[in-house]
Amino acid sequence: MNYYSLNKKAPNTSFKEAVIKGLAPDKGLYFPEAITPLSKDFFDSIEQLSNSEIAYETIKQFVLPEIPENELKRIVEDTLSFDFPIVELNKNISSLELFHGPTMAFKDVGARFMARCLGYFNQDNTNEVTVLVATSGDTGGAVANGFLGVKGVNVVILYPSGKVSDIQEKQLTTLGQNITALEVDGVFDDCQDMVKRAFLDEELTSNMQLTSANSINVARWLPQMFYFMFAYKQLKSKYKNIAFSVPSGNFGNICAGMMAQKLGLPIIHFIASNNANNVVTEYLKTKKYNPKPSVQTISNAMDVGNPSNFIRIQEIYKSDFELLQENLSSFSFSDEETKAAMLEIHNNYNYVADPHGAVGYLGAKSYLKNNSNCHCMFLETAHPTKFLDVVEDVIETTVELPEQIKSVIDKEKTSIKIDAYDDLKKYLLRA
Q: Which positions are annotated as active-site residues?
A: 107
CB atoms within 10 A of CB 69: 12
Query: Nearest-CA neighbor of 36 among 319, 264, 324?
Result: 264
* Contacts for 422 with CB less than 8 Å, ≥ 6 apart: none
**Secondary structure letter of residue 28 according to DSSP:** P
* CA separation for the pair 151, 128 (Å, rounded): 8
* CA separation for the pair 173, 416 (Å, rounded): 10
Q: Please, which residues bridge with residue 247 across strands?
A: 273
CB atoms within 10 A of CB 35: 14
What single string gives the DSSP state of each residue in 161-221? Answer: TTSS-HHHHHHHHS--TTEEEEEESS-HHHHHHHHHHHHH-HHHHTTSEEEE-STTSHHHH
Q: Describe the strand order of the beta sheet including 30-32 as a list of residue ranges.
A: 13-14, 2-5, 30-32
* CA separation for the pair 36, 262 (Å, rounded): 8
